[in-house]
Chain A
């Protein structure tokens, strides 16, 4: 028997279809809903977005070039021409701090991506295969962890030399154990689920299982580590460049600006206060956002 189509029924069907679409909930949407309700997390998100915008539009925002030296205006106090003052070479600190956002965020992003990729791969392999593979990988990670993170990074940079790629490699190696451990834990949580068992039962292959079923379900936890680690890598990077290891002048990385300013600490403290504030704000923003994400993706962990 054919279905009758009256205008009224069509209207109802349309409405139902619309409602169905509205109520479709995915883990991501649920997390966003919880994230939106968390004021501190939103503050973090806004700060992070602002920093990213500053990094992208640095050439428009900065009044001078970060390496432009002006011997007519050395060691000037903060004032109208130079809002954050100038350093010993007459470089505008405001411009250097603005460009610093670009360098610091970009290097931190590379470091974190490298760490997530290498450590994550090991963690996923260890978590998925379990048994001997797991034991071997995790014991090696234990060994790496016996060396304090920043000391490991400094030793690696001392061998490879200064430079951005070397720094990224150093941070990658020293953060591998933490990343591997976290990703392994994320995979292990997914591994016991019914849908994984079901996929196994219908004969899904290993690679497909990891890529299509496990990673998408563990991605929330991985994002938390990702954002949290951005703060950690900025801290490692700036600490190292402050003591003169990792990056070399005239890169406007915040730690390096602090390093150049420490000689004038008593006479020109403003040279240090502004870059120090930027490091604080950036790490604080990432931590706030990371905490918010943790509560949003995983309310049980709270």
Chain B
């Protein structure tokens, strides 16, 4: 087990280096001269040159990248924001907790509803309830999160005035963003729960349970669901990435001060170091969360260890949704 965790931790290094390399390349491709931007409009040519020297922009790109990584790893420094002049890490970190809260709330909300619907459609397979669940979850999957968000705002905030349309001053502000991201992910959970439940329900031990006179309720709850839930839980890792992406847009729609809104604002202000820094922090967070999810499932279900470790070693990768 310790070996497995260690292996995964070592594998993190090339991935994080690669991610930072991609984002740093984007940063070097940005139009405009950062030295001129920071020095101000009235700066003389000499002042701009001095600033450029100070920022190390005259060095080769690889040296700049090395310095960027070195500063981040040793000092936690991702550069300063063009707009406020403050260090980016200081600006992003307080916002991170808001984004994480929304993401997790959304994943829990989506998973609960999705699993419930999946169980219903598996138990009532090939009936109208099954078709209704499938169509409903596909409708939510088809609609971009921000459209669900707008419709919810029109309904709950504009027509009924029960939830705030903007901001997270009270806990009520969290409800709609979480609902939007959660709803768009239920299709995934419903589908996996349904097929996994159907598979488990045809197992021998379910027949045994029926034969010894166990109630249907207990069979579903204790025998089937506990085994069927494993693939669903595994898919949560993938969903977190999608939820974070959707959250970026929704934070803007609902005016939530999270990292997503920070990045979107930075894009419209052409504040490139902030865009790249924010994106890097999100990517690191996502990678770490995925690692934690994987490790915790191995701890919960030791059977997975062999499959995960062997799938790491050799080819057949799981198919991306």
Contacts and interface: CB of A to CB of B under 8 A. Distances in A.
Partners in one complex: yes
Interface of A: 40, 130, 134, 138-140, 142-152, 154-159, 161, 177-178, 181-182, 184-185, 188, 231, 235, 238-240, 242-245, 258, 262, 265-266, 269, 272-273, 276, 279-280, 283-284, 286-288, 291
A276 B26 contact: no
Contacts of A158: 30, 267, 270, 272, 275
Interface residues on B, range: 35 or more
B244 A148 contact: yes
Contacts of A182: 319-320
Given A266-B158, A279-B144, A155 B245 contact: no
Contacts of A161: 31
8 contacts: A40-B135, A138-B317, A151-B260, A155-B279, A239-B145, A239-B249, A258-B146, A287-B138
B30 to A, nearest CB: 5
Contacts of B18: 140, 143, 146
A154 B150 contact: no
B242 A148 contact: yes
A143 B272 contact: no
Given A156-B26, A181-B317, A272-B154, A146 B19 contact: yes
Contacts of B141: 287
B139 interface: yes
Contacts of B30: 158-159
Interface in B242-291: 242, 244-246, 248-249, 252-253, 260, 263-264, 267-268, 270, 272, 275-276, 279, 282-283, 286-287
A178 B321 CA distance: 8
B185 to A, nearest CB: 13
Contacts of B19: 143, 146-147
A142 B144 contact: no
Nearest to A237: B144
B143 interface: yes
